[in-house]
Amino acid sequence: MSKYAVILFNLGGPDSLEAVEPFLYNLFCDRDIFRIPLGQQLFAKMIAKRRAPKVRARYAQIGGKSPINTWTEIQRNMLQAELRKTIPDSHVMTAMRYWHPMIREVASDIASAGFEKIVLLPLYPHYSVTTTGSSFHEWQRHYQGDPARLVYVKAYPEQNNYISALNERIEEALAAFPRGVRNQVQLVFSAHGTPLSLVKKGDPYSRHIQQTIEQVMALRRGSHDYHLCFQSKVGPVKWLEPATDAMIKELGRQGRKHILVIPVSFVSDHLETLHELDMEYREIARDAHIENYVVMKGLNDSRTFCLALKALALDALQSSASPGRMNG
As a whole number, mean pLDDT of residues 35-49 equals 92
Confidence class of residue 34 from pLDDT cuts 50, 70 and 90? Answer: confident
Q: For the CA atoms of 60, 64, 65, 66, what is the dihedral angle to 10 degrees?
A: -50
Confidence class of residue 217 from pLDDT cuts 50, 70 and 90? Answer: very high
d(CA 304, CA 299): 9
d(CA 248, CA 278): 13
Residue 111 has pLDDT above 60, yes or no: yes
Least confident of 22-36, 99-113, 307-321: 307-321
pLDDT for the residue 325: 54
Tens digit of each residue's pLDDT (9 = 90 or more) over 199-211: 999 999 999 999 9
As a whole number, mean pLDDT of residues 10-24 equals 98
On whether the CB atoms of residues 107 and 184 are closer than 8 A, the answer is no
Tens digit of each residue's pLDDT (9 = 90 or more) over 289-326: 999 999 999 999 999 999 999 999 999 998 754 445 55
Residue 119 has pLDDT above 70, yes or no: yes
Confidence class of residue 37 from pLDDT cuts 50, 70 and 90? Answer: confident
pLDDT for the residue 323: 45
Residue 165 has pLDDT above 90, yes or no: yes
On whether the CB atoms of residues 72 and 94 are closer than 8 A, the answer is yes
Residue 112 has pLDDT above 90, yes or no: no
Q: 198 vs 24, 137, 211, CA distance in Å?
A: 22, 17, 18
pLDDT for the residue 169: 98
Domains of the chain with CATH codes: 4-156+304-327 (3.40.50.1400), 160-295 (3.40.50.1400)
d(CA 128, CA 154): 9
Closest listed residue to residue 100, CA positions, set 127, 65, 64: 65
As a whole number, mean pLDDT of residues 126-153 equals 97
As a whole number, mean pLDDT of residues 120-138 equals 97
pLDDT for the residue 328: 53
On whether the CB atoms of residues 48 and 21 are closer than 8 A, the answer is yes
pLDDT for the residue 36: 84
As a whole number, mean pLDDT of residues 74-85 equals 98
In percent, the amount of the chain with pLDDT more than 90 equals: 92
On whether the CB atoms of residues 108 and 22 are closer than 8 A, the answer is no
Tens digit of each residue's pLDDT (9 = 90 or more) over 184-203: 999 999 999 999 999 999 99
Residue 327 has pLDDT above 90, yes or no: no
On whether the CB atoms of residues 287 and 248 are closer than 8 A, the answer is no
As a whole number, mean pLDDT of residues 117-128 equals 98
- CA 290 vs. chain centroid, Å, equals 27
Average of per-residue pLDDT values in the chain:
95
